[in-house]
């Protein structure tokens, strides 16, 4: 494809950019533009786009630069938190994986004892001590058993409550 080119187009464009068209244009150049389709095209386009630019600029609803700056800072901060969190998350996944592997290894090592374990569980389940009514009557007969149930519950409650309060205050 042959690209059209006019040697005077640069002069015309320079005048258009400086805002000198048509007032500061020499008559000779104006005559040239009237006869040159490429330069006339440049004048038409430049005028149309300059007007469109001025109109669009007046339509723009800009935010305050401080708001944009603040959002950018927030984004940088979040990115920094994410960067710091990344190795921690990695360590957590690694720990989980190690625990799972340990659990699988333990199960595999104890596999041959499974039958004995199952029979032991069935015996334990049938034992009267695991029936709530029997347990209640046994605890009623021995007052020390109430404390044995109550104290671990109370300790667990205090520890979990402390952790919850600590995490809440951190946030």
Is residue 86 close enough to count as binding another protein by CB under 8 A?
no
Q: Report the first-to-last Cα separation within the chain, whole angstroms.
A: 66
Task: Report how far residue 58's alpha carbon sits from residue 117's, in angstroms, rounded to the nearest whole number.
Answer: 82
CA angle 62, 68, 71 (to 5 degrees): 145
Binding residues for another protein restricted to 8-37, rule: CB under 8 A: 17, 34
Nearer to another protein, 85 or 137 (CB): 85
Segment near another protein (CB under 8 A), from 50-58, 105-113, 125-133, 158-166?
50-58
163 binds another protein (CB under 8 A): no
Instruction: Give the integer Cα–Cα distance in Å for 37 and 52.
Output: 22
Interface stretch with another protein, choices 24-32, 46-54, 95-103, 120-128 (CB under 8 A) = 46-54
Using the rule CB under 8 A, is 51 a contact of another protein?
yes
Interaction of residue 41 with another protein, rule CB under 8 A: yes
Looking at beta carbons only, is 58 or 109 nearer to another protein? Answer: 58
The count of other CB atoms within 10 Å of the CB of residue 16 is 19
Widest Cα–Cα separation across the chain: 121
How many Cβ atoms sit within 10 Å of the Cβ of residue 67? Answer: 10
- What is the nearest approach in angstroms of another protein to the Cβ of residue 73? 8
Residue choice 10, 76, 116, 118 for contact with another protein (CB under 8 A): 76
């Amino acid at each position: 494809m042959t690209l059209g080119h006019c040697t005077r187009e640069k002069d015309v464009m320079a005048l258009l950019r400086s805002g000198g068209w048509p007032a500061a244009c020499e008559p000779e150049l104006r005559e040239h533009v009237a006869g040159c389709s490429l330069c006339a095209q440049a004048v038409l386009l430049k005028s149309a786009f300059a007007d469109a630019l001025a109109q669009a600029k007046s339509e723009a609803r800009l935010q305050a630069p401080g708001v944009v700056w603040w959002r950018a800072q927030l984004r940088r901060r979040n990115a920094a938190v994410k960067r710091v969190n990344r190795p921690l998350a990695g360590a957590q996944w690694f720990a989980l994986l190690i625990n799972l592997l340990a659990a699988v290894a333990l199960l595999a090592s104890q596999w041959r004892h499974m039958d004995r374990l199952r029979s032991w569980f069935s015996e334990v389940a049938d034992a009267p001590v695991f029936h709530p009514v029997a347990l209640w009557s046994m605890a009623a007969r021995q007052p020390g058993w109430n404390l044995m149930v109550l104290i671990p519950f109370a300790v667990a409650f205090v520890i979990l409550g402390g952790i919850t309060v600590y995490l809440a205050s951190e946030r």
